[in-house]
Structure 1
Amino acid sequence: MSDVVTEAVAALNAKLAGGFSGTAKFAIKGEGSIMIDESGARAGDEDADVTLTASTETFKAILDGELNPTTAFMTGKLSVDGDMGAAMRLSGVLG
């Protein structure tokens, strides 16, 4: 597991205190994937309700609150595949 994924899992678990309703996967190009569900965040690469794909830089900017997930999607920096409702719920959690 990459350092980026390890750090991201810790940051996401801090933000997702109550877990997440449904399943989501963050695919970080060149680094790996993070699964998010009712238990919180963990490294993994399983099927999910929604998959969000971004570069390491974009993902870090979203986690750090420097980039709004909706803005990242609208500008093509974040791609979403699957349940848009789940993506919007996750966006609300991430800020």
Structure 2
Amino acid sequence: MSLDALAEAVRGRAAGGPALDARVKFDLGADGFIVLDGTGPAPAVSIGDAPADVTLTMKAETLRRMVDGSLSPTMAYMTGKIKANGSLSVGMKLAALLDD
């Protein structure tokens, strides 16, 4: 899945979920960055590096599996597939948004 397709998938999940009131950066290593800005009236998703309240480092495949519902964000974190840097409470809100 391309970075653009991943960003679109994140956008789709964010649009139907609870408000984050925070910015989340997905650091996908060599594949790039996706930033979910949940501070406005509607969530915005962009590609590229930007400041965030929490940075989640993972492989692009891990993010793909989380947005398609085949991997629980909580399980991914507990098994070391995700590293979090910043506000863990924001990470927990994001897990609720991505969990089916």
Question: TM-score, normalising length from structure 2?
Answer: 0.85
Q: Which residue of 2 aligns with 1:67?
A: 71
Q: Which runs of 5+ in 1 are unaligned?
A: none
Asked if 1:56 is matched to 2:56, the reply is no
C-alpha separation in 2, matches of 1:37 and 1:47 = 10
Deviations 1:49-69 (A, max 9, x none): 000011122111111111101
Deviation at 1:12, TM superposition (A): 1.1
Identical-pair percentage: 34
Give 2:4's aligned amino acid.
T
Q: Distance in 1 between matches of 2:15 and 2:31?
A: 24
Query: Could you tell me which of 88, 92, 95 is aligned with 1:84?
Result: 88
One-letter amino acid of the counterpart of residue 71, structure 1? M
Deviation at 1:40, TM superposition (A): 2.0
Answer yes or no: is the 8 Å Cα contact 1:35–1:45 preserved in 2: yes
More strand by share: 1
When structure 1 is superposed on structure 2, of 50-59 and 80-89 the one drifting more is 50-59
Shift of 1:4: 2.2
Aligned length: 93
5+ residue gaps, structure 2, are none
- Tell me which amino acid in the other structure corresponds to 1:72: A
Q: Which runs of 4+ in 1 moved over 4 A?
A: none
Q: Distance in 2 between matches of 1:11 and 1:81?
A: 23
- Please tell me the residue identity of whatever aligns with 1:86: V
| Aligned-partner Cα distance in 1 for 2:60–2:36 | 17
**TM-score under structure 1 length normalisation:** 0.89
Structure 2 CA distance for aligned equivalents of residues 46 and 37 of structure 1? 10
Match of 1:23 in 2: 23
